[in-house]
Amino acid sequence: MPATHKIIAAASLAIAAMLAPAHAQPSFSFSAPDSDIDGDIVLMVGEGLDMTATMTAVDAATSGRLTAALEQADFTGSFGASLKLHAMSPYETIVVIGTGEEELTPRKLTDLGGHAAAHSGDDVTVLADNLDTDVEAAGAWLAKGFALRSYSFDKYKSGDDADDTEQFVTVMSAAPAAATELYTGDLQYVVEGVTFARDIGTEPGNKVYPEVVADRVRTLFSGVRNVRIDVLDAQDIRREGMGSLMGVGMGSINDPRLVVIRYNGAGTDEAPIALVGKGITFDTGGISIKPNNGMWLMKSDLSGAVAVAGSVYAAAKRQAPVNIVGLMPLAENMPGRDAIRPGDVLTTMGGKTIEIISTDAEGRLVLADAVQYAQEEFNPRLLLNIATLTGSAARAVGDDYAVVITRDLETSLDMMEIGERAGEDVWPLPLHPSHFDQIKSDIADIKNTGGSPGASIGAAVVGTFIDEDQPWVHLDIAGVDWLNSDVATAPKGHAGWGVRFMDQLIREESE
């Protein structure tokens, strides 16, 4: 390696090291229910305040003050309801979380863990005996939700504002050995994948650009078995004829990258699942520049790409019996002197041409080359692309759902069920032949935008590069990747949306 390349490589690795995880995960231990405890505790209480053995013991220890406080507060035990009680000797605090009256699924258990974390301190014992659930090792799902909700990003805060306190959580529930195995050998990796996505999606744009993201992915997968990482640089991207991906990055001093993560957990002859995520490390809109209001949030325009990395990581760490390829087309969309202009024509890897109507419709451009590459190189059995693609998606379905678009309703309905189980909901929008008609260009094969409905038009642009016989799922997560307020399993900020959805998809596909 030439000396200059060694210097550049060392500098990029140093930057990647500076972007270490922003917040340590809680340390969990699992044990059988035991009322002989003190300090901070969390009680899980069902609808109607049915008294479990542990709750009865805690109430007795407080000389009946627990039940008196619940009655005074009119606490009913409805799902997710919470009440924090202080000075309940011998306990420092008692947090009561309602479990509702419906049977608790893994999703609901995860949410309950998140609700517990939202009101808990650094060292806490979660008492979860006699939960209304058939889920084996329910305590592990509580821990998953607790860890997801405990996330914080404060690495750029100084002094008293920085929180580097380690959190210790004991979960007391049935089957503690099984819960330990499930959490430490599986669900913990999903949490780590979500944390990776949140970290990179929260980092400021001056700290994260394509080369840095590629280095962070290498660091994430260091030592993970059966994984190969390939990074295509600008020279490789040009050599492959990816004029669309290259075009988006032309205005930036930071060259684009295409990160390819291959995980082989099944036989070499088995076709992989391909996950392709949009990775715009910062989106100014390019020459079609965005207004300043809200542009700061465009640091998270790589949410799809980092979710892909997090999903493949979770599957690889638990050694899922499936082959996966994750592709992260990465570029910074800037209005530099070499930036593409409205009216320009780009030639994609497959030879199709795209007329640029707006340089702010850039996500579909990087996906065009990436999905083509995925099909030509890997012949996947299923191709899913995920992107913060259109404001239209957010306006259509709000912030409770991501948009899913497929070629047939049955597949979309399957994706809705996967989202329900994963805890990341999707809602279908149509893809009609007229949407493809709307993107026909007078001077090129297609143009990169074509009116409304914007979410379907964006999907049509990407769909132009998907073979007709290729099973395909399109996720537009523009309305769900960033939270303006807390939810059960995530604090305000970057949600890491998509890791849990794709993780659930991988699980079901591998079965």
Catalytic residues: 290, 364
Rounded to an integer, what distance in angstroms lies between the CA atom of residue 372 and that of residue 258? 12
Q: Residue 409 CA to chain centroid, in angstroms?
A: 24
Strands (E), 392-492: 402-405, 426-428, 446-447, 472-476, 482-483
3-state secondary structure of 306: helix
Upper half-sphere CA count for residue 237 (Cβ side, 13 Å):
28
Length of the chain: 511
- Rounded Cα distance between 115 and 92, Å, is 19
Give the CA count within 13 Å in the CB-facing half-sphere of 407: 14
Q: Which of 137, 118, 117 is nearest to 126 (CA)?
A: 117
- 157 Cα distance to chain centroid: 24
Tokens of 321: 């019996």
Amino acid at residue number 343 = G
Helix, strand, or coil here: 263? Answer: strand
Q: Which of 363, 351, 384 is nearest to 509 (CA)?
A: 384
Residue 58, both tokens? 């805690």
Alpha helices per DSSP H over 269-356: 303-317
Tell me the C-alpha distance between 95 and 185, whole Å.
29
First-last CA distance in the chain: 44
Q: What is the largest CA-CA distance in the chain?
A: 81
Q: What is the DSSP string of 366-380?
A: HHHHHHHHHHHHH--
Distances (CA, A) of 495 to 399, 483, 491, 500: 11, 6, 8, 11
Contact 322, 506 (CB under 8 A): yes
Helix runs in 64-131, H state only:
65-72, 106-118
Q: Which of 500, 507, 502 is nearest to 423 (CA)?
A: 500
What span, in angstroms and rounded, lies between the C-alpha atoms of 508 and 405?
19
Give the CA distances from residue 332 to residues 208, 246, 247, 382, 484, in Å, rounded to whole numbers and listed in that order.
Answer: 10, 10, 10, 28, 24
Q: DSSP letters along 127-171, please?
A: E-TT-S---TTHHHHHHHHHHHHT----TT--GGG------EEEE
Q: How many CB atoms lie within 10 A of CB 71?
A: 10
